[in-house]
C-alpha cells in the first residue's frame, strides 16, 4: 500500500482533513472519507455524469479527479445545494416536473442544471439538451428533466438565486 497523504477538502463550506492514498479518486473520498453519499458512481470513466460536483464553482466529474488534486479546493456536492430544509429552485422543479424516477442520476443532474442556468439564465429546451448532454439518465427519457431545468431557470431569474 502506497503511503497516504493528508489533504484538506473544503466541502459545502467546511474544511475537512482526510488522509488518502494518492490513487483514491475524489468521488471515493467524498463518499467514503466524508460520508457524503449523494455523489454517485455510475461508470468511473467519465461518461455518465452521476458523480458531477462543482470544483471551485465549475462542474467536473469527481471520478476523474484524484482526491489529492482537490487539496484546498472548494467543493460543492448535492448535499450543499439548498439551505437546510429549503430546497434550491432546481431541486424543487425536478420534483414538481417529475424530472427524476430512480434518483440515481439526480444529484449530478441538479448540479449540471444549476451550472447551465448560471451561464444561461433563460435557456431554450434545445440549449438545455445540448448543455446537459454529459449527464445520462436511464429512466426519464430526458423530456421532463428539460422541463424541470426550464422551470427552475424561470424561478431562478425571478429570485436572482443561484447555487
Partner 1 sequence: MTTTQETRWIGVSAPRREDAPLIRGRGRYIADIEPAGTVHMAILRSPYAHARINGIDTAAAEALDGVHCVLTAADLEGIGDFPTIWRLPGQKESNTPALAPGKARYVGEPVAAVVADSRYMAEDALDLLDVDYEILDHVVDVEAALADGAPVINEDLGDNTIIEYTFPGINALGVAGDIEGAFEEADEIVSGRFKVGRYSGVALETRGLVADWDDLRQTLTLHSGSQVASLLRTELAAALGIPETSVRILTPNIGGAFGNQWDRYPEDILVSLASMKLGRPVKWIEDRREALQATVHGREQLQEWQLAASSDGTVLGLKGRVLSDQGAHLHSVGIGPAWVTGAAAVNQYKIANYHCDVVGVATNKTPNSTFRGFGGPEAMFGIERMMDKTARRLGIDPAELRRRNMIQADEFPYFSPGGAVYDSGNYPAALAKALEAVEYDKVREEQQSLRDQGVYRGIGIASYIHVSGFGPSAILGILDYYTGGYEGSTVKIDPHGRATLYTGMIPMGQGTETTLAQVAADHLEIDIANVRVVWGDTDQTPYTGFGSAGSRSNVAAVAVIKAIEQIKAKAVRIGAGLLEADPDDVAYADGRISVKGAEEMRSLTLADVAQQAYWAHKIPEGDQPTLEATYVYDPANFTTACGTHVAVVDVDIDTGKIDWVKYVVVDDAGTIINPLLVEGQIHGALSNGLGGAMLEEFVYDEETGQLLSSTLMDYLVPSFTDLPDFEIHHLVTPSPHTEGGFKGMGEAGCFPAAPALANAVADALSHLGVEVDQTPVTPSRLWSLIDQAGG
Partner 2 sequence: MKPAAFDYSAPESIAEALDLLAEHGSGAKVLAGGQSLVPMLNFRLARPAHLIDVNGVDSLSYISANGTLRIGSMTRLTALGESGDVAGAHPIIPKAVAHIGHRAIRNRGTIGGSLAHNDPAAELPAVLMALDAEVTARSADGERVVGMQDLIEDRLFETTLGDTELLTEIRIPAAAASSTSGFQEFARRHGDFALAGVAAVITTDGSTITQAALGAFGGTHATRLPTAEAALLGAETGDAAFAAAGAGAAADFPATSDVHGTAEYRSHLINVLTVRALKEAAGNSGGGNG
Determine which residue in the list 98, 120, 130, 157 makes contact with partner 2, applying CB under 8 A.
Answer: 130
User: How far is residue 145 from each of residues 40, 41, 50, 78, 98, measured CA to CA in Å?
Assistant: 18, 20, 14, 17, 7
Determine which residue in the list 28, 38, 80, 156 makes contact with partner 2, applying CB under 8 A.
Answer: 28
- Of 72 and 103, the one with the shorter C-beta distance to partner 1 is 103
Could you give the CA distance from residue 6 to residue 148 in angstroms, rounded to a whole number?
40
- Of 42 and 71, the one with the shorter C-beta distance to partner 1 is 42
Is residue 27 within 8 A of residue 63, CB to CB? The reply is: yes
Which range in 49-57, 78-86, 87-95, 152-160 contacts partner 2 by CB under 8 A?
49-57
Which range in 1-9, 88-96, 99-107, 147-155 contacts partner 2 by CB under 8 A?
1-9
Is residue 50 within 8 A of residue 116, CB to CB? The reply is: no
163 binds, among partner 2, partner 1, none (CB under 5 to 8 A by kind): none
Q: Which element (helix H / strand E) includes 118?
A: helix 106-119
Nine cell digits for residue 157:
431569474
52 binds, among partner 1, partner 2, none (CB under 5 to 8 A by kind): partner 2
Amino acid at each position: 500500500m502506497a503511503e497516504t497523504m493528508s489533504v484538506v477538502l473544503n466541502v459545502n463550506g467546511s474544511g475537512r482533513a482526510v488522509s488518502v492514498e494518492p490513487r483514491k479518486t475524489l468521488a471515493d473520498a467524498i463518499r467514503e472519507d466524508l460520508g457524503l453519499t449523494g455523489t454517485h458512481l455510475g461508470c468511473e470513466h467519465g461518461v455518465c455524469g452521476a458523480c458531477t460536483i462543482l470544483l471551485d464553482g465549475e462542474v467536473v466529474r469527481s471520478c476523474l479527479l484524484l482526491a489529492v488534486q482537490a487539496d484546498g479546493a472548494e467543493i460543492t456536492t448535492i448535499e450543499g445545494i439548498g439551505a437546510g430544509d429549503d430546497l434550491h429552485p432546481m431541486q424543487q422543479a425536478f420534483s414538481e416536473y417529475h424530472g427524476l424516477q430512480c434518483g440515481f442520476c439526480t444529484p449530478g443532474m441538479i448540479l449540471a442544471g444549476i451550472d447551465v442556468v448560471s451561464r444561461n439564465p433563460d435557456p431554450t429546451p434545445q440549449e438545455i439538451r445540448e448543455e446537459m448532454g454529459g449527464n445520462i439518465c436511464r429512466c426519464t427519457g430526458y423530456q421532463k428533466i428539460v422541463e424541470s431545468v426550464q422551470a427552475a431557470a424561470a424561478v431562478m431569474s425571478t429570485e436572482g438565486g443561484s447555487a
